[in-house]
Amino acid sequence: MTSATSTYPFNARTDDILAGLEKGGQYKHLQMLTGPMGPTVMLRDASGESREVICMCSNNYLGLANHPEVVEAGIEGLKKYGAGTASVRFICGTFDCHETLETTIARYMGTQSSYTFVSCWNANEAIFATLGESGDLIISDELNHASIIDGIRLAAVIKKGLHKGVYKHNDLDDLRKKLEAARANPDVTGQIWVVTDGVFSMEGDIADLPALRKLCDEFDAMIIVDDSHGHGVMGATGRGTHEHFNMCPGAPNFDASLGEVDLFTGTLGKGLGGGAGGFIAGRKRATELIVQRGRPTLFSNALPCTVACSANKAIEIVLREPERVKALRDITTYARTEIKNAGFEVIDSPTAICPIIVGETSTAIAMSKKLLELGVFVIGFGYPVVPEGEARLRLQLSAAHTTEHVDQVVDALKKL
């Protein structure tokens, strides 16, 4: 018997792809958490039982994901505004909690204004396609996040004649060459944009923003920084990589002579711990155009109010308690030292991301499996996510981790 569906090319093709992933050890098995995100989490095992493991792979950098005040603010928001916005922003989906959150984000980032999205993925989908025009050139660091890459691709499709380029990771000499070529290219008639992650998620390294600013000024290029892994982590008060480099207006160490970043995107779902959501922050003129023309908010529901209320509270806590940022820095330094003392190779950086290089992809996968048995939840990343031979365990620290947690992790590593 043949059913109508048996002839779909999709069927055999998809089965092949899935089988290939399984065979290559790249098939992702989703781990099921049965309680809140925290320094330890409850993880469901094959038998259906939950057990507590130390979580070393979340983006919960400041431990705010389950902070009582953040949870309470969400509950209050749910009660006050109900569950759904039931509208996009420009029809009837803008609530005063959005206004409050966007004011808080602007104050936190040291920018004139901000505008929120349901995710930073959405923010990156909006920013290039809305602000870019034909004749512009967008140059992107080769290790930028997937949402930036896809956002630029989308922009080049929507705005015909918008050019795109890539520069070698954190290589300002290469970027200079690309900028010189652009200025000599008669097709590049509009704005040049340089785009970078603030903190790069696989290496844990950072973009040299003062040097980028100087270089871009020579070529009249605007800088966009996606600091999703930098918020709550970088700078004395956790505002991000720009604060780390004394480039955040409103932060105690601001040095106006270094110049500023033109535009930011960021997430509310990592260090800022509000649950989820993303934003664009910068000059009013830019966010105003996004409000008018950004398709992801013109045609998609607003950030849920309960999430907006939680996110607002989380940022208030970051600004109120800079000691959380210091605690994260201290526990990260402790972890790096202990892991090195145990004989492992850790990539150094000022961030809370500690990649332990182990070599082969299969080694990384086997090690993360064994660590889970020992009660430590860590993810192994291999080729093609990172270069061949540089497979790694990526440990991410949280201000909520104690030295006891780290000691247990290091003991488990020693047992491998």
Instruction: Point out the residues that are catalytic.
Output: 201, 229, 270
Instruction: Evaluate whether 193 touches 162 at the Cβ level (below 8 Å).
Output: no
Site membership for ligand PLP, residue 145 (CB under 6 A):
yes
Joined together, the tokens standing for residue 327 give 């605690």
The answer to the question of residue 197 lying near ligand PLP (CB under 6 A) is yes
Amino acid symbol at 184: A
E-strand ranges in 3-151 read 40-44, 50-55, 113-117, 137-141
Bridge partner list, 40: 54
CA angle, corner 89, sides to 268 and 222, nearest 5? 60
Per CB under 6 A, does 226 bind ligand PLP? yes
* Residue (76 or 150) nearer to ligand PLP, CB: 150
Distance (Å, whole) CA 7 – CA 134 = 43
Choose between 351 and 410: whose C-beta lies nearer to ligand PLP. Answer: 351
DSSP SS3 for 322:
coil
Does position 355 interact with ligand PLP (CB under 6 A)? The reply is no
- Residue 269 binds to ligand PLP (criterion: CB under 6 A): yes
Q: How far is the CB of 351 from ligand PLP (least distance, A)?
A: 12
Only one of the segments 113-121, 159-167, 307-315, 324-332 lies at the binding site for ligand PLP (rule: CB under 6 A); that segment is 113-121
The contact mask relative to ligand PLP for 277-306 (x = CB under 6 A, - = no) is -x----------------------------
Q: Which is nearer to ligand PLP, 267 or 306 (CB)?
A: 267
Q: Is 229 in the site for ligand PLP (CB under 6 A)?
A: yes
- Residue 121 interacts with ligand PLP (CB under 6 A): yes or no: yes
CB 212, CB 224: distance < 8 Å: no
What's the min distance (Å) between Cβ of 269 and ligand PLP? Answer: 5
- Residue 406's nearest CA partner among 346, 344, 347, 333 is 333
Interacting span for ligand PLP (CB under 6 A) from 169-177, 208-216, 222-230, 314-322: 222-230
Is residue 196 at the binding interface for ligand PLP, with CB under 6 A as the rule?
no
In angstroms, rounded to a whole number, what is the distance separating the alpha carbons of residues 332 and 141? 26
**3 state DSSP class of 183:** helix
In the complex, minimum distance from the CB of residue 241 to ligand PLP, in angstroms, rounded to a whole number? 11
Q: Which residues of 168-183 are buried (b: 16+ CB within 10 A; e: fewer)?
A: ebbebebbeebbeebe
Q: Does 274 bind ligand PLP (CB under 6 A)?
A: no
Chain contacts with ligand PLP (rule: CB under 6 A): 119-121, 145, 147, 197, 201, 226, 228-229, 267, 269, 278
